Chain A
Amino acid sequence: MIAEATLPSLCNEQDRSPSLPTDSARWAVSRSLAVESEATTSHLLEQEKDTQFDKADIVKVRTIDKQTASIDIGGSLKMLDQQWECVVVGRDDETIHCELHDLSDPDNESEYGEVFLTEFSEYDRPRLKEGAVFYWSVGRLREEHGQIRKFSELRLRPTPRISQAAQRRIAERAKKLNGIFQRSSPGYLPGQ
């Protein structure tokens, strides 16, 4: 069974990661290879024949940060190539519309994308409302026996709860800030 996901181009004009395709506006995602969990939907996009792991690749990839660029998961090594923070800005029956902010390189321009709701677990779908944030990570998974697969993963960000004390502090500060802004009226001439 093949599901088609409409995802934005992986790289924009300013940034072209050597290890990723740059023209994949639409991806055919093999559902049969999908690895799903309650909060995570993963897709193993492509199985690479080359089982020789080249350590130099680790140096080439642009990392999110040194701690999370490669993660050892029980003998397998998960290497992130690129990661976006995606903010849901709209939703229709089948897709969500989102803004993508490149966490790998904040200098990259924000992009716009559409993702099928079926890419997410049933548990997560009701939570994908306007303002919800999820992460889209792409990279490579080196399995214990040396095989390397590319992966693409969508993970919904749990919205942090702000404590009541912090809420009170925020409300007071917002009131104070509102007071420091002066409202200019038409015809007012500020002294420069």
Chain B
Amino acid sequence: MEFFNDPALATCPASDEFELMVFGPGCGECLVLHCGDQQWCIIDSCRYPRQNLPIALQYLEKLGVEPKTAVRSILVTHWHDDHIRGMATIVRQCSAARFNISGALHSEQFFHLVLEAEEANKLVKASSSASEFGEILEVLEQRQDPPPYSVEDGAMIYQNIQERTVLVQAISPSPETVRQTRTMLADRILADTQTRQFRKVGPNDLSVAVQVITVPAMPTIKMFGPKSFQTRR
């Protein structure tokens, strides 16, 4: 990848540096955070055209970081196709990381819709992201620890316990949104099986928005993204 040739981007941050990398063909389809002490978080996932490996893993590989142990938390903010491509590969490779999804999607009915869509995909060729989620569920079923979490407003996605320097906290979805979604999902399960679809579930108000707090402010922040977004401080 062209931008990886920039030597500044190919340097692993020091233990006391916070780094936020923003990737994506649009803007922010994947965020990679270095939270200090060689601990990393990945938020959403994307793949660049003609690339098999998700961009987050490519970046960590370039830095010489071992995702299996270094990635501590993975978050899927919402289930839109452009934010989840390659997420199953990330979950599989980052075996020490806790997997987080929106609390609105933590319901038996939602999992039922996903598995149903995945089953349908086996019968006909389809590109539904249900297959990506189905693969993640398979990995999580086999993995006992750490258990996956569903997050709501106020929940901690990550906290650097040792240094107490970085905090990643969810500020949505609200408990009311979670309740409404579960009701909607239950209704959908009772709906016409010919057209009910997994992929339509997941409008933006179910998304997990996060705030990242660094206390005290860590010395270096690197940001990278599309040219229109690119900022360095």
| Interface of A toward B, CB cutoff 8 Å | 14-15, 85, 87, 89, 99, 101, 103, 105-110, 127, 129-133, 157-160, 162, 166-167, 170-171, 173-178, 180-192
A184 close to B156 (CB less than 8 A) = yes
Write out the residue numbers on chain A whose beta carbons fall within 8 Å of the beta carbon of B151.
184
Write out the residue numbers on chain B whose beta carbons fall within 8 Å of the beta carbon of A129.
192, 195
Query: With A183-B103, A188-B156 in contact, do A157 and B148 touch (Cβ < 8 Å)?
Result: no
Query: With A15-B49, A133-B126, A189-B159 in contact, do A159 and B147 touch (Cβ < 8 Å)?
Result: no
B195 close to A190 (CB less than 8 A) = no
Q: A129, A167, A171, A184: which has the most chain B beta carbons within 10 Å?
A: A184
A181 close to B81 (CB less than 8 A) = no
Look across to chain B and name the residue whose beta carbon is closest to the beta carbon of A167.
B116
- Report how far A66 CA is from B70 CA in the complex, Å: 41
B195 close to A178 (CB less than 8 A) = no
| Interface of B toward A, CB cutoff 8 Å | 25, 39, 47-51, 72-73, 81-82, 98, 100-101, 103, 106-109, 111-112, 115-116, 119-120, 123-128, 137, 140-141, 146-156, 158-161, 192-197, 199-200
Look across to chain A and name the residue whose beta carbon is closest to the beta carbon of B109.
A174
Residue pairs across A and B with Cβ atoms less than 8 A apart, 21 shown, are A89-B200, A103-B127, A129-B192, A129-B195, A160-B123, A170-B115, A177-B108, A178-B106, A180-B141, A181-B149, A181-B150, A183-B103, A183-B150, A184-B152, A185-B155, A188-B155, A188-B156, A189-B161, A190-B98, A190-B159, A191-B161
Write out the residue numbers on chain B whose beta carbons fall within 8 Å of the beta carbon of A190.
98, 146, 149, 156, 158-159
